[in-house]
C-alpha cells in the first residue's frame, strides 16, 4: 500500500486550483467576478436560471470485442448475463438551478448552485418489484446537491469573493467548472479571492482551503474544529487576464475589428504533514492519533497561459499548461519510510480554430491537443488508492511503483473538456498520454427568429505518446467520426442527436490473444429545457 499516494500525484497537481468565479452561479470564469454589481436599484433582487436535461444513450461494442486485459477486465463494461452482447442503454436526468441574491443597491451578492437531481438514472427507483411497478419512488441519492455557495462584495478597491465557487480557466482543459449542457462533473474551490481591474486587465489573488484533515466536534455539536494545521493543504493563486465578454466580442466583430485576449495564472500548493488513515481504505477502523502522522513535504506548481485571437471571420484559441510537483515521502503506511523524493513534470496543450463569418451559416476548423505521458503500463486516466501497477496490455494502471519508479508525468485533460464521443470520453476517460487532430465543420441549415437547426461533423485521429501505455502495445489509437444535429429555440429548448463510430487501430488490439479490436458506435439523444 506504500505506493498508493504517488498514484494520485498527477491528480494532486492537476487539481491545483486556478483562478475563477463568476457574475452568476452558472459561470465560473474569474474575469466575471463583480460583473452586474452596482446596477441594482434600492431594492433587493433575485436572479435565477438553470435547465432540465434529459439524456438517453445507446452504446454498441464499446469493449471493442477486445476480450479481457491481462488484469482480467474488459476495456468497457459488458452486459450482465451475456458478456458476448454488445449493446448497453442508459438514460438520466439533471435539474440544475443557479440562484443569485442581490442586496439593495447591488453592491453585495450571494450565489448558489443546487442540482435538484444530478445525473439521476431514469427507472432506478421503482416502486415494488420490477414486474408490478407502476411508479417511481423519490430518489434517495443524487438529489438536492449543493454544488456552490459564495458571496461577492464590491469595495472601492475591487471585489472580494469568498465561499465555495466554480473553477474554470481558459478553454477548460485543466480546470473546468462543468457548466456546459453536456458536462457531468465540474471543479469547485473553497476560496477567498480579491479581483480588481487595472490598466484594462483583471488582476486576481486567491487562497484556497483544499484539505483540513481530521476534525473534532465542539461542545456545540453543529460545529467542528480542525485538529491541526500541519496536515492542511494550502493553495495560493495569482492571475493576470485581459478578456472581453461575449457582448463586447460581438460588437467588435460587427465593426470589423480583431480582438486579442490573453491571460496567465500561477498556482502554488503545499502540504507539510499528512494523515493517510483518514482517506486510505482499511478493512478495520483506524484510531487517528499522533502515530498516524506522516511527514509528506509536498509542493506543486501550475503554470497556465491562455490566448485568444478573434476576428470577423475567424477564431484561434489556445491553452498551454505545465505542472510540476515534488513529494518528499510517498509512503501511506505509518512507520514506513522511503526517503526518496518523487517528482512529476506534466505538459498539456490544446488549440481550437474556427474559420467563417461569425454570423454566417458555415464554419470549419482544425483542433489539436497533446497531453504528456509516461512509459508505465496503462494510461493512468483514473488513478485510485486501490489501483495496482498495470500489466502489459492493460488499459489502466498505476503510473508509479515506488521505490523503483518515482515519477508520474501523464497530464490529464479535464473530463468535461470534450473532443470526442467514444474513445477519450467513454473508454479511456480523458485525454492523457496522447495527441489528437480534430477537423470539424458546422452548418446552420435553418436560422430564424424562432431558433436554429445546426449540423456538425468532426473527425478525431488519435495516437498514444508511449506504446507501452496502450492495450495493443502500439501508438495508433483510432479514428472516430462524430456527426450531430441540434435544434435550439430562442426559448432555450434544445434537441440534439449525436452519433459516433470509432475505428480502432493497433493500439487497441489484444495482442496476447490475437484479437483485433472491432469498431464501436454510440447514439445519444438529449432534451434540454432552459430558464
User: Using one digit for the tens of pLDDT, what is the confidence trace for 70-112?
Assistant: 988 899 999 887 767 789 999 999 999 999 998 887 789 999 9
pLDDT above 70 covers a percentage of the chain that reads 90
pLDDT of residue 317: 97
3-state helix, strand, coil in the chain (%, to 5): 10, 50, 45
CA distance 329 to 338: 6
CA distance 25 to 110: 9
Query: What residues have CB less than 8 Å from 513, skipping those under 6 apart?
Result: 67
Higher-confidence position of 189 and 26: 189
State the cell numbers at 17: 486550483
Task: Classify burial at 50, counting beta carbons within 10 Å of its beta carbon; exposed 0-12, middle 13-18, buried 19 or more.
Answer: buried
Higher-confidence position of 225 and 37: 225
pLDDT of residue 80: 85
pLDDT in tens, 41-70: 666 788 999 999 999 999 999 999 999 999
Comparing C-alpha atoms, which of 232, 324, 373 is closest to residue 14? Answer: 324
HEC profile for 485-504? EEEEECCCEEEEEEEEEEEE
HEC profile for 310-328? EECCEEEEEEEEEEEEEEC
What is the average per-residue pLDDT within 391-412?
A: 84
What is the average per-residue pLDDT within 184-201?
A: 91
pTM above the 0.85 mark?
yes
pLDDT of residue 250: 85
Amino acid at each position: 500500500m506504500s505506493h498508493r499516494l504517488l498514484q494520485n500525484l498527477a491528480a494532486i497537481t492537476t487539481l491545483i486550483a486556478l483562478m475563477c468565479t463568476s457574475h452568476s452561479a452558472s459561470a465560473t470564469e474569474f474575469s466575471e467576478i463583480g460583473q452586474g454589481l452596482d446596477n441594482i436599484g434600492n431594492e433587493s433582487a433575485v436572479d435565477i436560471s438553470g435547465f432540465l436535461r434529459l439524456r438517453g444513450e445507446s452504446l454498441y461494442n464499446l469493449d471493442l470485442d477486445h476480450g479481457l486485459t491481462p488484469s482480467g477486465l474488459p476495456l468497457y463494461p459488458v452486459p450482465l448475463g451475456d458478456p458476448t452482447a454488445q449493446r448497453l442503454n442508459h438514460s438520466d436526468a439533471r435539474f440544475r438551478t443557479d440562484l443569485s441574491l442581490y442586496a439593495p443597491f447591488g453592491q453585495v451578492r450571494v450565489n448558489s448552485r443546487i442540482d435538484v437531481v444530478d445525473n439521476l438514472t431514469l427507472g432506478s427507483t421503482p416502486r415494488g418489484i420490477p414486474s408490478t411497478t407502476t411508479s417511481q419512488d423519490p430518489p434517495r441519492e443524487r438529489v438536492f446537491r449543493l454544488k456552490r455557495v459564495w458571496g461577492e462584495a464590491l469595495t472601492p478597491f475591487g471585489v472580494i469573493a469568498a465561499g465555495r465557487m466554480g473553477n474554470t480557466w481558459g478553454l477548460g482543459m485543466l480546470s473546468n467548472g462543468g457548466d456546459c449542457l453536456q458536462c457531468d462533473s465540474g471543479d469547485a474551490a473553497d476560496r477567498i479571492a480579491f479581483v480588481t481591474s487595472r490598466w484594462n486587465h483583471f488582476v486576481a489573488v486567491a487562497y484556497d482551503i483544499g484539505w483540513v484533515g481530521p476534525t473534532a466536534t465542539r461542545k456545540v455539536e453543529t460545529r467542528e474544529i480542525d485538529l491541526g494545521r500541519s496536515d492542511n493543504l494550502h493553495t495560493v493563486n495569482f492571475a493576470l487576464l485581459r478578456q472581453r465578454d461575449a457582448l463586447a466580442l460581438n460588437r467588435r466583430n460587427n465593426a470589423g475589428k480583431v480582438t486579442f485576449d490573453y491571460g496567465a495564472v500561477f498556482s502554488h500548493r503545499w502540504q507539510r504533514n499528512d494523515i493517510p488513515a483518514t482517506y486510505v481504505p482499511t478493512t478495520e477502523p483506524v484510531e487517528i492519533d499522533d502515530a498516524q502522522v506522516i511527514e509528506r513535504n509536498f509542493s506543486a506548481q501550475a503554470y497556465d497561459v491562455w490566448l485568444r485571437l478573434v476576428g470577423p471571420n475567424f477564431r484561434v484559441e489556445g491553452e498551454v499548461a505545465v505542472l510540476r510537483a515534488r513529494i518528499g515521502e510517498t509512503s501511506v503506511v505509518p512507520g514506513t519510510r522511503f526517503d526518496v523524493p518523487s517528482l512529476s513534470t506534466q505538459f498539456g496543450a490544446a488549440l481550437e480554430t474556427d474559420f467563417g463569418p461569425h454570423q454566417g451559416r458555415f464554419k470549419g476548423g482544425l483542433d489539436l491537443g497533446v497531453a504528456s505521458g509516461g512509459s508505465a503500463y496503462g494510461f493512468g486516466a483514473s488513478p485510485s488508492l486501490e489501483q495496482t501497477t498495470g500489466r502489459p496490455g492493460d488499459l489502466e494502471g498505476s503510473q508509479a511503483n515506488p521505490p523503483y519508479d518515482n515519477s508520474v508525468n501523464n497530464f490529464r485533460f479535464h473530463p468535461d473538456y470534450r473532443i470526442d464521443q467514444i474513445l477519450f470520453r467513454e473508454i479511456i476517460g480523458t485525454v492523457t498520454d496522447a495527441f489528437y487532430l480534430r477537423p470539424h465543420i458546422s452548418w446552420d441549415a435553418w436560422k430564424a427568429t424562432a431558433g436554429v437547426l445546426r449540423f456538425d461533423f468532426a473527425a478525431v485521429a488519435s495516437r498514444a505518446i508511449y506504446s507501452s501505455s496502450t492495450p495493443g502495445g502500439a501508438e495508433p489509437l483510432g479514428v472516430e467520426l462524430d456527426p450531430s444535429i441540434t435544434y435550439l429555440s430562442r426559448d432555450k429548448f434544445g434537441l440534439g442527436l449525436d452519433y459516433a463510430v470509432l475505428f480502432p487501430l493497433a493500439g487497441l488490439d489484444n495482442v496476447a490473444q490475437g484479437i483485433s479490436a472491432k469498431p464501436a458506435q454510440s447514439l445519444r439523444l438529449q432534451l434540454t429545457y432552459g430558464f
